[in-house]
Structure 1
Amino acid sequence: MKKKRVIIPLLIIGLLGYGVYWAFFDMNRLPKGELISEVSSPKGTYTLKAYVSNGGATTDYAVRGELNFNKENKKSKNIYWNYHEEKANIKWIDENTVLINGHELSVPNETFDFRR
């Protein structure tokens, strides 16, 4: 009986916590936006596509960076999301390091999200 009193509230808190993450912080739920730039890595392993998203009258522009895997059959991945930006200055430093608007990321594992 005491286990039920502990497990059920923990389950509810866990589900609520995941719901908040899914609704507000999941990078897979970002708006698509309009393609503004596309740059391939030096050896062509990756292509980074940058999109600008217009949130309408209530929010400012934001830039989303999507990493595409050219040599592997993997789903593209959002690695960059920054608010108050309309342009994307993308420069590959080497095959696994990209600089996006001054933010250096080691791909494919690092991400930048202004909300965190």
Structure 2
Amino acid sequence: MILIIGLFTSFITVVLFLILCARIIISFIKKKPFPKKLGMATLAGGVLIFSIYLYESYFFTFSEIDRAFVQPGPGPVTSPTEEYTANAYYEPYGGAAGGVNVWVEITDNHEKNKVQTIYYSDAKSDFSMKWMDENTLYIQNNEPDYPNSNRSIELEIGKEIYHENGLACKSLLMKDEYETCFQNE
């Protein structure tokens, strides 16, 4: 919803800016006063766009994942001590020409089924999960024909997370949920 508001506001602000530029040029040519109301409206739109950008960048949470068309992925995969259960989910986006995101949630079976998202990325054709030990999950997310597409990682539960484009790493709301955040570079 915030994205739609941001896009709409951006469009309106660009139109207002173009009109403002034209009016400024006309005011210089015809020696008319500066269009203050139009200038203020354009400035307000710019401030709103900047505010939406800050919100999207620094107040990200995994609750924004579109769960309307979620498809279950591989799993559940239970840790050796049965303390944790890992589940993967697929999120299609962009219609027929789009793609699929994948995220992994860890359920703490001993702490009232507490659920934490630890991995979010574009899904590749070779996806699997396996426990390395009681607290470390290896997530394989790779496209074998494209060497730069490997998003595989080993994560320590409760301490590390991965977000492909780094939104979770910049989020002020999530900084207490992990010690280390990885992103694709």
Normalized against structure 2, the TM-score is what?
A: 0.49
Matches within 5 A, 1:99-114: 99-101=138-140, 102-114=152-164
2:65 to 13, 16, 30: 30
**Cα distance in 1, alignment partners of residues 114 and 63 from structure 2:** 11
- Aligned equivalents of 1:107, 1:46: Cα separation in 2: 9
Counterpart position of 1:66: 105
Structure 1 residues without counterparts, runs of 5 or longer: 1-11
Equivalent position amino acid for 1:110 in 2: E
Match of 2:129 among 79, 85, 90: 90
The residue type equivalent to 1:114 in the other structure is E
Identify the residue that residue 85 of structure 2 maps to in structure 1.
47
TM-score computed with the length of structure 1 as normaliser:
0.74
- More strand, by proportion: 1
Query: Whose Rg is larger?
Result: 2
In 1, the alpha carbon distance for the partners of 2:137 and 2:81 equals 13
Aligned residues: 103
Displacement of 1:95 after TM fit? 0.5
Deviation at 1:111, TM superposition (A): 0.7
Q: Distance in 2 between matches of 1:74 and 1:93?
A: 21
Q: Secondary structure at the match of 2:160?
A: coil
* Paired residue type of 2:62: M
Query: Percent identity at matched positions?
Result: 26
Name which of 65, 79, 84 aligns with 2:118: 79
Structure 1's consecutive aligned runs of 4 or more residues displaced over 6 angstroms after TM superposition are none
Q: Could you tell me how far 1:100 is from its partner in structure 2?
A: 0.5
Unaligned runs of 5+ in 2: 1-47, 141-151, 167-185
| TM-fit CA distance, 1:86 | 5.1
